[in-house]
Structure 1
Amino acid sequence: MPSTAAVRPAHRPAEDVDPRLVDGVLAAAMAVVVAVVVAADLEGTGRAGALAWLFAAGFGALLLARRRAPRLVLVLTVLGIFVYYVFQLPPIGIALPAVAALYSAAEADRTRSAVAAGAVLVSVAAYFRVDEGLPAAYLVSYDLLTDVALVAAAIALGVSVRSRRELRAQQERLRALAAAEERREADRRLQAERAGIARDLHDSIGHTMSVIAVHSSVAAEAVGRDDEAAARALERVRSAASATLRELRSTVKLLRSPGADPVVRNGLGLAGIPQLLEAAQDADVAVTARVDVDPEELDTAIDAAAYRIVQESLTNVLRHSGARHAVVRARTEDGSLELCISDDGRGASPGDVVDAAGGRGLPGMAERVGLLGGTLRAGNRDGGGFEVRARLPRRLGP
Structure 2
Amino acid sequence: MTSSATTPPSPWVTDVVLALASTLVVAVVIAADPSGQGDAGAAAYLFAAGFGALVLLRRTAPRTMLVLTFLGVCAYYALGFAPIGMVLPAVAALYAAAERGRAGWAAGTGLVLVAVATWFRVTDDDDPSAALTAYDLVTNVALTAAAVALGVAVRLAREARERTALVRELTAEQEAHAAQERLQAERLRIARDLHDTVGHHLSVVALHAGVADEAVGRDDDAARDALARVREAASGTLDELRATVKVLRSPTPDVAPRGALGLAGLDTLVAPVRAAGVEVEVRDDVAPGSLSDTIDAAAYRIAQEALTNVLRHADARRVRVEAAVDGGRLRLAVTDDGRGAGPSPGTGTGLAGMRERAGLLGGTLTAGDLPAGGFAVVADLPATLPR
TM-score normalised by the shorter chain: which range applies? 0.7 to 0.9
1:182 shift after superposition: 3.2
- Measured in 2, the distance between the counterparts of 1:247 and 1:116 equals 77
1:296 shift after superposition: 4.1
- Measured in 2, the distance between the counterparts of 1:278 and 1:368 equals 24
- Measured in 1, the distance between the counterparts of 2:75 and 2:116 equals 13
- Change over 3 Å in CA distance of 1:378–1:110 after alignment to 2: closer
SS of 1:337's equivalent in the other structure is: strand
- Measured in 1, the distance between the counterparts of 2:328 and 2:375 equals 26
TM-score by length of 2: 0.81
Contact residue 340 and residue 373 of structure 2 kept, 8 A: no
- Counterpart for residue 366 of structure 2: 377
Q: 1:209 aligns with which of 202, 206, 211?
A: 202
Q: 1:272 aligns with which of 260, 265, 268?
A: 265
Contact residue 263 and residue 304 of structure 1 kept, 8 A: no
Instruction: Out of 231-240 and 381-390, give the one that drifted further.
Output: 381-390
1:166 shift after superposition: 2.6
Work out the percentage of aligned pairs sharing the same amino acid: 55
- Counterpart for residue 387 of structure 1: 376
- Change over 3 Å in CA distance of 1:289–1:76 after alignment to 2: same
Contact residue 247 and residue 266 of structure 1 kept, 8 A: no
Task: Name structure 1 gaps, 5 residues minimum.
Answer: none
- Give 1:88-99 correspondences, 5 Å limit: 88-99=80-91
- Give 1:138-217 correspondences, 5 Å limit: 139=132, 143-144=136-137, 146-217=139-210
Q: 2:283 aligns with which of 261, 283, 290?
A: 290
TM-score by length of 1: 0.79
- Change over 3 Å in CA distance of 1:142–1:233 after alignment to 2: same
1:308 shift after superposition: 0.9
- Measured in 2, the distance between the counterparts of 1:60 and 1:383 equals 97
Residue 132 in 1 paired to residue 105 in 2?
no
1:99 shift after superposition: 0.8
1:97 shift after superposition: 1.9
- Counterpart for residue 320 of structure 1: 313
**Residues 297-346 of structure 1 deviation map (CA, whole Å, 9 limit, x = unaligned):** 43332122111111012112222333333232323332222222233x23
Q: 1:122 aligns with which of 93, 114, 118?
A: 114
Residue 234 in 1 paired to residue 227 in 2?
yes
1:372 shift after superposition: 0.8
- Measured in 2, the distance between the counterparts of 1:372 and 1:296 equals 18
- Measured in 1, the distance between the counterparts of 2:8 and 2:211 equals 79
Contact residue 321 and residue 346 of structure 1 kept, 8 A: yes
Contact residue 329 and residue 339 of structure 1 kept, 8 A: yes
- Counterpart for residue 109 of structure 1: 101
SS of 1:93's equivalent in the other structure is: coil
**Residues 19-76 of structure 1 deviation map (CA, whole Å, 9 limit, x = unaligned):** 4664465455545544554465354549767766665566456546644654555455
Contact residue 340 and residue 368 of structure 2 kept, 8 A: yes
Counterpart of 1:397 in structure 2: which amino acid?
P
Contact residue 336 and residue 394 of structure 1 kept, 8 A: yes
Contact residue 345 and residue 369 of structure 2 kept, 8 A: no
Instruction: Out of 72-81 and 191-200, give the one that drifted further.
Output: 72-81
SS of 2:243's equivalent in the other structure is: helix
Contact residue 326 and residue 342 of structure 1 kept, 8 A: yes
Counterpart of 1:375 in structure 2: which amino acid?
T
